[in-house]
């Protein structure tokens, strides 16, 4: 299954992506984790060392071009995850991590080329039955218009129980529907109690498919630079529940 994690800045996309990736890996699945944020943090959340050494996916453009010239359309070949060159990823156990772009300097550069490569990858990569892709996306909505994620099975929209994140979520829902993404799922993070869930339901007209409570352990782990997934059995069990629901609605 291909899952993208979206939402307003700071709502917990990377944290939730890390929990999902880790739970999938613990279930014995092969996971391709893609950090599509121009300021990537997924490596740290997952406890990968020396992630700055990973060559960004955008550099694969030349490779794709070269292969297309040599052996016809690379895209038509429906590459497998195992065909992706190792230099574009780091691997730990059954998690492979790729990063989309080089870290961009304030306001510099356009990420269109990066997104074109990612779109091609998501569209064409053929997953074997024991493989999943989890994509930690850039914050906000602007990049969604590029259609990069049109081929994912689930677009998770992470929210927190405050108005700003819900407004962004409503925009993502609209864009996701335009892209004809089958499953747009609201996932609530930093929830403190039932009132928060009532507020979310009142605003969006639906209850979140996944609920992650505010966790002191996660805060502490983040502050001390530890991988968050080891920190909180509670959030791990939220991720397990969420994945079970996603698998049912594939
Ligand atoms: N359930 C939670 N309980 C406590 N702290 C959390 C929780 N979820 C996320 N955090 C903390 O909130 C901060 C933001 O989370 P995270 O980096 O996952 O958000 P993000 O949406 O990926 O942000 P960005 O838009 O910058 O990429 C982090 O310090 C993280 O440790
Ligand atoms: Mg993030």
Taking the chain (250 residues) in runs of 10, the rounded mean pLDDT of each run is 95 96 96 88 86 74 60 56 79 92 51 71 86 93 81 95 96 91 94 96 95 95 86 93 91
10: Cβ below 6 Å to ligand 1? yes
- The predicted pLDDT at position 141 comes to 85
- The predicted pLDDT at position 107 comes to 45
189 CA from centroid of ligand 1 (Å): 9
- The predicted pLDDT at position 106 comes to 44
231: Cβ below 6 Å to ligand 1? no
- The predicted pLDDT at position 125 comes to 83
User: Atom of ligand 1 at shortest distance to CA of 191?
Assistant: 1
- By three-state DSSP, how is residue 107 classified? coil
User: Atom of ligand 1 at shortest distance to CA of 190?
Assistant: 1
For residue 132, the enclosing domain spans 2-248
Instruction: Give the residue among 81, 86, 100, 92 at the shortest CA–CA distance from 32.
Output: 81
- The predicted pLDDT at position 160 comes to 97
40: Cβ below 6 Å to ligand 1? no
Q: What are phi and psi of 126, to 5 degrees?
A: -95, 120
Ligand nearest to the CA of 9: 1
Number of domains present in the structure of the chain: 1
The CATH number of the domain holding residue 234 is: 3.40.50.300
Ligand nearest to the CA of 229: 1
- The predicted pLDDT at position 69 comes to 56
- The predicted pLDDT at position 249 comes to 83
Structure tokens, 146: 């590029």
Separation of alpha carbons 55 and 219, rounded Å: 29
Q: Which of 10, 141, 231 to mutate to test the pocket of ligand 1 (most atoms within 8 A of CB)?
A: 10
- The predicted pLDDT at position 209 comes to 96
């Amino acid at each position: 299954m291909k899952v993208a994690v979206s939402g307003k800045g700071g709502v917990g996309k990377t944290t939730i992506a890390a929990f999902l990736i880790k739970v999938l890996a613990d279930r014995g699945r092969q996971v391709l984790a893609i950090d599509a944020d121009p300021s990537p943090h997924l490596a740290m959340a997952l406890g990968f060392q020396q992630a700055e050494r990973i060559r960004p996916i955008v550099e694969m453009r030349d490779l794709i071009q070269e292969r297309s010239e040599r052996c016809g359309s690379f895209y038509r070949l429906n590459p497998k995850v195992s065909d992706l060159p190792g230099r574009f990823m780091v691997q730990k156990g059954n998690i492979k991590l790729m990063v989309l772009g080089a870290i961009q300097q304030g306001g510099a550069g356009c990420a269109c080329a990066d997104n074109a490569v990612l779109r091609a990858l998501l569209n064409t990569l053929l997953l074997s039955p024991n493989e999943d892709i989890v994509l930690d996306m850039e914050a906000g909505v602007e990049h969604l218009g590029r259609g990069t994620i049109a081929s994912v099975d689930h677009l998770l929209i992470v929210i927190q129980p405050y108005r700003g994140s819900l407004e962004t979520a409503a925009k993502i829902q609209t864009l996701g529907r335009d892209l004809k993404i089958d499953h747009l799922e609201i996932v609530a993070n930093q929830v403190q109690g039932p009132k928060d869930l009532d507020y979310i339901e009142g605003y969006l007209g639906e209850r979140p498919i996944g609920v992650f409570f505010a966790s002191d352990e996660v805060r502490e782990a983040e502050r001390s630079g530890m991988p968050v997934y080891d920190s909180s059995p509670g959030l791990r069990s939220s991720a397990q529940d969420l994945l079970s629901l996603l698998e049912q609605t594939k």
